[in-house]
Amino acid sequence: MGTAPLGGLYAPVATADAKAAIAAAWDAGIRYFDMAPMYGLGRCEHLSGEFLREQDPDAFHISTKVGRLMTFERPGRTLPPEPPKNEFDSGWHNGLPFRELFDYSYDAILRSYDDSRQRTGLGRLDILFVHDIGRVTHGALHDHHWGALTKGGGFRALEELKASGLIAGFGLGVNEWQVISDAMEETDLDCCLLAGRYTLLDGDAAETFLPKALARDVDLVIGGVFNSGILASTSGRRKFNYVDAPEAIVAKVEKLEEVCRRFDVPLPAAAIQYPMRHPASTCVVIGAKTAAQVNGNVAWFEQAIPDELWRTLEAEGLIPPL
């Protein structure tokens, strides 16, 4: 269960709807919840923690993220100007009244861990993902942030948290597989969340990165399987990688949908299940705003899909051969 949409991604989400979505995921048997300080500027950690605190603490696993601190201006503390929004950042429509501050240094990683423990109110955090680091995300500031994570002790803080038993593992949670590949040369990653780069529309990671992750024994959580929504519905909002979908992408979606219709398989079902065909994929993380969306996602995940569908998509050049 991905919680990003509950923070007001693209549109506001009522608190009652958000709580119902989390409860529906639990009722459906989902026991892994992914969150981040960024999601709703703290809102999603609060909402998720409120529900999970009432459950058996040994019955679920959670991941959250580090790299962004939630802060605000006050006398004696003036925040730097907000960085320009990158192409992956859509903003939050009913997030909490905080500012995010990128910081991947040793002290910031430890503070982020403490802050997430307080926001969730949970006795443990299982996995920490370094959130949204990479050249596409940070542009000219990438080298600065990468230096904080490496030479500045960010990875060392994560290693210490794991060694002390405060977390079970760590990795990166990003849209760019290239930076995960770079991180593998810096530290021993346990698992990583890769969003949007191994989907029916984007196989960029398939040729070189997925085999490397498999060889290094780095488990992959695959996110963004709908590529921001266009693979979940071809009507209404057509977002691809968090922005309006270009015509070439819309055309490919129509071709994918046509093949799926031949086999009586909903396109979103194929989108959810596609990443699990590769042995490097451990699970998929799917976001939802309502209980109905959660239940729909579960139904798509459980939809029977014949192997012939995948072979047809390969034969027509719509997905790379496995």
Residues classed as catalytic: 34, 39, 65
The continuous run of DSSP H or E covering 6 comes out as none
Report the candidate in 84, 87, 109, 290 with the shortest Cα–Cα distance to residue 196: 87
Structure tokens at 278: 């590769």
**Backbone conformation region of residue 40, classed left if phi is above 0, alpha if psi is from -120 to 50, else beta:** left
Helix axes 15-27, 291-302, angle to 10 degrees: 30
* Both tokens assigned to 264: 């009586």
Taking the C-alpha atoms of residue 58 and residue 74, their distance in angstroms, rounded to an integer, is: 39
Alpha-helix residue ranges (DSSP H) falling in the chain: 15-27, 43-52, 106-120, 135-138, 142-149, 154-163, 177-183, 209-215, 247-262, 267-273, 291-302, 307-315
Sequence-distant (6+) residues with CB within 8 A of 220 are 191, 192, 193, 194, 198, 210, 213, 280, 281, 282
Going by C-beta distance under 8 Å and a sequence separation of 6 or more, which residues neighbour residue 238?
229, 230, 244, 245, 250
Contact 69, 131 (CB under 8 A): no
Please state, as a whole number, how many other Cβ atoms lie within 10 Å of the Cβ of residue 9.
24
